[in-house]
Amino acid sequence: MKEQQAQQIAEQWLTDAAASAANKDLRAHMSMISKRVRVDGVPGFDNIDYDIWYQQCKHQFEMSMIKSIAYKGFNLISATATQINFSVYETVLGTDGTLNEQIVEMTLEIETDDVWRLVQERVLIENDAMRNHQPAKDKAVD
């Protein structure tokens, strides 16, 4: 697979993932996640599987906890005909004003139904890449 094609597939997946979360569309969002998914590097979890991801999204969507998700700094690591591995800077803004920023490495895989789904995600915690804080305008100045 050519790098440009892999990047287009991955960036479309990111756009659709962010839109489904913004629209609180649990079915659409989870249809983008493989039943075999594994997420590593999330503080407080050994790893996250499909069932945990589903329960977390269900709760967050029902409680309207996510205002927006944005991605920038796409970096293609590798691509084959069936798998795309990349890293990206993810920003999740909560409706309560919290901001979670992190670098994540994701692997998409085309499954038997010809749909690209997330099979692996790893949160990379390096150089203070992962921060969970209030937006600067909400912080008190000493």
Q: Which residues form the domain of 42?
A: 3-138
Mean pLDDT by 10 residues, the chain (142 residues): 95 97 96 97 89 96 95 96 96 93 96 98 66 41 40
Can you read off the two tokens belonging to residue 127? 């150089």
Residue 18 maps to which CATH number? 3.10.450.50
Q: What is the per-residue pLDDT for 126?
A: 52
Q: What is the per-residue pLDDT for 60?
A: 95
Contacts of 17 (CB under 8 A, 6+ apart): 29, 32, 69, 118
Run of H or E including 58: helix 50-62
Q: Which residues pair with 72 in a beta bridge?
A: 89
Separation between Cα atoms, residue 23 and residue 14, nearest integer Å: 14
- The count of domains in the chain is 1
Q: What is the per-residue pLDDT for 83?
A: 98
